[in-house]
A and B are shown apart, each in its own frame.
Chain A
Amino acid sequence: MSTVSESIPTPDQAQAGDTAAGVYDPNDPQGPPPQRRAMIAAAIFIGYFVVILLVAKFAPGTVGVIARGMLRESLSAQTAAVAIAIIGLNVHFGYTGLLNMGQSGFMLLGAYGFSISIWKGLPMPVGILVGFLAAFVFALILGVPTLKLRGDYLAIVTISAAEILRYVGRLAKLENFTGAAQGIPGSQYRDPFVNLSFFGDGTFDAGGWLPNLQSTGVNGWWVRFVAWLLVALCCVIVFLLARSPWGRLLRGIREDEDAIRSLGKNVFAIKMQALVIGGLFGALGGMVYILPSSMQPDAMGRNLTFFCWTALLLGGAATVFGPVIGAILFFALRVFIQGTAGAIVPDSIMNLSQTAQFAWICVGITLMLLVIFRPQGILGDKRELRFNV
Chain B
Amino acid sequence: MSEATIGTPSKLADPEARRALMSGVSPEAGSSKPDPILEVDHIIRNFGGMTAVHVDHLEVQRGIITALIGPNGAGKTTFFNLITGFDRPSSAKTGAHWSFEGKKLDKTSASSVALAGMVRTFQLTKSLNRMTVMDNMMLGARGQRGENLLTAMFKGTWGAQEKEVEKKAYELLDRFKLYAKKDDYAGSLSGGQRKLLEMARALMSDPTMIMLDEPMAGVNPALTQSLLSHIQTLRDEGMTVLFVEHDMHVVRHISDWVVVMAEGRIVAEGPADTVMSNPAVIDAYLGAHHDTDLGDDSLLSDEALEEMAQEVAAEEAEREAEEKS
Contacts and interface: CB of A to CB of B under 8 A. Distances in A.
A267 B111 contact: yes
Interface in B56-86: 84, 86
B158 interface: yes
A298 interface: no
Interface in B125-168: 126-131, 135, 138-140, 142, 144-149, 152-155, 158, 162-163, 166-167
Contacts of B113: 264
A259 B142 CA distance: 14
A261 B153 contact: no
B170 A8 contact: yes
B231 interface: no
A3 B1 contact: yes
Nearest to A11: B166
A270 B152 CA distance: 12
A384 interface: yes
B2 to A, nearest CB: 9
A10 interface: yes
Contact of A248 (B114, B138, B154): B138
Interface string A231-267: 0000001001101111111011011101111111111
A245 B147 contact: yes
Contacts, number: 140
B121 to A, nearest CB: 8
A259 B126 contact: yes
A4 B126 CA distance: 29
Nearest to A5: B171
B128 A256 contact: yes
Contacts of B131: 248, 251-252, 255, 384
A264 B111 CA distance: 4
A142 B281 CA distance: 51
B126 A249 contact: no
Contacts of A246: 146-149, 152
Interface string A170-185: 0000000000000000
Scoring A241, A248, A383 by chain B CB atoms within 10 A of each residue's CB, the highest score goes to A248
B176 interface: no
Interface residues of A, number: 46
Interface size class of B (residues with CB under 8 A): 35 or more
B138 A245 contact: yes
A240 B174 contact: no
Contacts of B167: 10-11
Contact of A251 (B84, B135, B144): B135
Contact of A22 (B138, B154, B183): B183
Contacts of A258: 86, 110, 122, 126
A145 interface: no
A385 interface: yes
Contacts of B4: 1, 4
A8 B139 contact: no
Contacts of A263: 111, 114, 119, 139-140, 201-202, 204-205
Nearest to B153: A240
A264 B114 contact: yes
Scoring B113, B131, B152 by chain A CB atoms within 10 A of each residue's CB, the highest score goes to B152
A8 B168 CA distance: 10
Contacts of B170: 8-11, 14
Contacts of B1: 1, 3-4
B167 to A, nearest CB: 6
Given A7-B174, A263-B114, A241 B152 contact: yes
28 contacts: A4-B171, A4-B174, A7-B174, A8-B170, A11-B163, A11-B166, A21-B183, A30-B184, A241-B153, A244-B152, A244-B155, A244-B158, A245-B138, A245-B152, A246-B152, A251-B130, A252-B128, A252-B131, A258-B86, A258-B122, A259-B126, A262-B126, A263-B111, A263-B202, A263-B205, A264-B112, A277-B149, A384-B131
Interface of B: 1, 4-5, 84, 86, 109-115, 119-122, 126-131, 135, 138-140, 142, 144-149, 152-155, 158, 162-163, 166-167, 170-171, 174, 179-185, 187-188, 201-202, 204-205
Given A251-B128, A258-B126, A264-B115, 6 more contacts: A11-B163, A244-B158, A248-B139, A252-B135, A261-B86, A264-B111
